[in-house]
Structure 1
């Protein structure tokens, strides 16, 4: 006996592409920013489905390699938050920039809107490397036509209340702050909330 195939989920998709900051490393399920974004959208009557494509430890190169698979979800908007692991590992920043440009180019070719989350490194990495790292995000946004979230961890970085003991990964309280930052940039792309 054959079962009737389920209807495809045709809701518009928001793809959250990133590393552990997106995956929600170290916090309870449902308290990462993609989960909170899904809840906020539902509260406001938006039908969108949020996909958490965060992978702890991922680099820009790793995300580029798996992007084609992530695009099978046919997103209309991608929130790209990558590069922290490249920077923390001291990887070549020119390669990091090129990877981000290629990611954004692939998204753009498929008609996906892009929000690029800017990142910064802790000050102990040395002025030259740290400054070059931070400058890559506005450069990539300008060159690729992406919208920039100037600093994804605004109001979170350096605060012991909003960071886990490692000083790198947000707590649930930190993700609530991140949600507000992301929401300010996502909302203008959504248009008026549909009637419920």
Structure 2
């Protein structure tokens, strides 16, 4: 390789290294979810949220991830808890993974939408961006209800201009080797798949913070 090419290669490598290690101006990420994000049935450090924190460290991103997920929580519960969480942690990104328990309990989709919308409003008012992780429910709830349930996430993403992951369990749910015996909660082997589904919008947000 010619000297000037060596110099160019070294310069590009240096720039890439600086870019990878560039500090992030954000204060932190807040995850507000239910059992899917609370690593139900597993040690917490094996859940996808803990794996998210580990991935950030691997990329030299020193950004705290607060997991405020509660197994069994509904959108109403998340809405009730959110103001205190925003005040305590002052996050710059709020990842909302709620709604599954509303659906499993057959709660009204319009009320679920109101709760999630209010959560998004509260996060925005606190200066945080929002990523919404969508969920689906089993087909035995009927076509009409399941369609209305899924539409809630799409409508919110459009109305509130937030990034939506349509189904955070895509490629995980329904795969026996990735699920616990209850058929609802992912096992340890399924957690990386959840992270891969949630990662793209979080990664895009991180790029904007550099």
Question: What TM-score does the superposition give when structure 2 sets the normalisation length?
Answer: 0.85
Contact 1:11 1:47 in 2 (8 A): no
The alpha carbon displacement at 1:150 in A equals: 1.4
The alpha carbon displacement at 1:29 in A equals: 2.5
The alpha carbon displacement at 1:11 in A equals: 6.8
Point out the structure with max Rg over C-alpha: 2
Q: 2:48 is matched with which residue?
A: 33
1:169 aligns with 2:185: yes
1:122 aligns with 2:138: yes
Give me the whole-angstrom Cα distance separating, in 1, the residues matched to 2:102 and 2:125.
Answer: 25
Give me the whole-angstrom Cα distance separating, in 2, the residues matched to 1:193 and 1:162.
Answer: 33
The alpha carbon displacement at 1:67 in A equals: 0.4
1:188 aligns with 2:204: yes
Q: 2:175 is matched with which residue?
A: 159
Q: Which SS does the other structure have where 1:164 is aligned?
A: coil
Q: 1:13 is matched with which residue?
A: 28
Question: What TM-score does the superposition give when structure 1 sets the normalisation length?
Answer: 0.91
Give me the whole-angstrom Cα distance separating, in 1, the residues matched to 2:61 and 2:46.
Answer: 20
User: What's the CA shift string for 1:71-125, capped at 9, x where partnerless?
Assistant: 1200010110000000000011110000000000000111111100111111111
Instruction: State how many pairs are aligned.
Output: 185
Q: 1:149 is matched with which residue?
A: 165
Q: 1:140 is matched with which residue?
A: 156
**Gaps (5+ residues) in structure 1?**
1-9
Please provide the CA RMSD for this pair. 1.5
Q: 1:64 is matched with which residue?
A: 79
Q: Which SS does the other structure have where 1:191 is aligned?
A: helix
1:74 aligns with 2:102: no
The alpha carbon displacement at 1:193 in A equals: 9.6
Q: Which SS does the other structure have where 1:67 is aligned?
A: helix
**Gaps (5+ residues) in structure 2?**
1-24
Q: Which SS does the other structure have where 1:161 is aligned?
A: helix
2:69 to 54, 76, 85: 54
